[in-house]
Chain A
Amino acid sequence: MNTESLYEFIEALKSENSNWVSDVKDALGEVTVIVPREFIEESCAFLKDNHGFDMLADLCGADRGPEEDPRFEVNYHLFSTTHYKRLRLKVLLTEDEPNVESVTPLWKTANWHERETYDLFGIIFENHPDLRRILLPSDFDGHALRKDYPLRGYEPYSLT
Chain B
Amino acid sequence: MGLENNIFESLPDVITVKLDAIVNWARKSSLWPATFGLACCAIEMMNTVSARNDLSRFGAETFRASPRQADVMIVSGRVSRKMAPVVRRIYDQMPEPKWVISMGACATSGGVFDNYAIVQGVDKVVPVDIYVPGCPPRPEMLVHAIMMLQEKIMNESVKDRRDTFEEESRKSIVPGTMPVTEGTALEAKMQNADAKPYSVPSKHEKRRSS
Residues on A with beta carbons closer than 8 Å to the beta carbon of B184: 130-132
Taking a contact as CB atoms under 8 Å apart, the answer to whether A118 and B185 are in contact is yes
Residues on B with beta carbons closer than 8 Å to the beta carbon of A118: 185
Interface residues of B (CB under 8 A from A): 81-82, 114-117, 119-120, 124, 175-176, 178, 180, 183-186, 192, 195-197
Taking a contact as CB atoms under 8 Å apart, the answer to whether B180 and A138 are in contact is yes
Taking a contact as CB atoms under 8 Å apart, the answer to whether B81 and A157 are in contact is yes
Residues on B with beta carbons closer than 8 Å to the beta carbon of A153: 115-116
Residues on A with beta carbons closer than 8 Å to the beta carbon of B196: 156
Taking a contact as CB atoms under 8 Å apart, the answer to whether A139 and B116 are in contact is no
Taking a contact as CB atoms under 8 Å apart, the answer to whether A151 and B115 are in contact is yes
Say yes or no for A55: interface residue by CB 8 A criterion: no
Considering only residues 122-160 of chain A, those with a C-beta below 8 Å from chain B are 124, 130-133, 136-140, 144, 149-153, 156-158, 160
Report Cα–Cα, A118/B186, bound state, in Å.
10
Report Cα–Cα, A152/B110, bound state, in Å.
12
* B174 CB → nearest A CB, Å: 9
Residues on B with beta carbons closer than 8 Å to the beta carbon of A150: 116
Taking a contact as CB atoms under 8 Å apart, the answer to whether B197 and A157 are in contact is yes
Q: Which residue in B82, B114, B186 is a CB contact (below 8 Å) of A137?
A: B82
Taking a contact as CB atoms under 8 Å apart, the answer to whether A151 and B81 are in contact is no
Tell me the nearest residue of chain A to B124, going by C-beta: A160
Tell me the nearest residue of chain A to B195, going by C-beta: A139
Give the residue among B120, B185, B195, B196 with the most A Cβ atoms within 10 A.
Answer: B185
Report Cα–Cα, A11/B4, bound state, in Å.
92
Taking a contact as CB atoms under 8 Å apart, the answer to whether A160 and B185 are in contact is no
Taking a contact as CB atoms under 8 Å apart, the answer to whether A133 and B185 are in contact is yes
The B contact surface, by secondary structure, is: loop
Report Cα–Cα, A160/B196, bound state, in Å.
13
Q: Which residue in A130, A131, A133, A160 is a CB contact (below 8 Å) of B197?
A: A160
* A107 CB → nearest B CB, Å: 20
Taking a contact as CB atoms under 8 Å apart, the answer to whether B185 and A152 are in contact is no
Tell me the nearest residue of chain A to B176, going by C-beta: A137
Tell me the nearest residue of chain B to A153, going by C-beta: B116
Known pairs A131-B186, A137-B82, A152-B116 / 15 extra A-B pairs, C-beta < 8 Å: A130-B184, A131-B184, A136-B81, A138-B175, A138-B185, A138-B192, A139-B175, A139-B176, A139-B192, A140-B81, A151-B114, A151-B116, A153-B115, A157-B81, A157-B197
Taking a contact as CB atoms under 8 Å apart, the answer to whether B178 and A152 are in contact is no
Report Cα–Cα, A132/B184, bound state, in Å.
5
* B155 CB → nearest A CB, Å: 30
Report Cα–Cα, A130/B195, bound state, in Å.
22
* A103 CB → nearest B CB, Å: 17
Residues on B with beta carbons closer than 8 Å to the beta carbon of A156: 196-197
Residues on A with beta carbons closer than 8 Å to the beta carbon of B192: 138-139
Report Cα–Cα, A138/B177, bound state, in Å.
8
Report Cα–Cα, A133/B186, bound state, in Å.
10
* A/B interface sample: 14 pairs, CB < 8 A: A137-B81, A137-B176, A138-B185, A139-B175, A139-B176, A139-B192, A144-B117, A152-B114, A152-B116, A153-B115, A153-B116, A157-B116, A157-B197, A160-B197
Report Cα–Cα, A124/B185, bound state, in Å.
10
* A122 CB → nearest B CB, Å: 10
Report Cα–Cα, A130/B184, bound state, in Å.
6
Residues on B with beta carbons closer than 8 Å to the beta carbon of A137: 81-82, 175-176
Q: Which residue in A131, A132, A158 is a CB contact (below 8 Å) of B116?
A: A158
Report Cα–Cα, A138/B176, bound state, in Å.
5
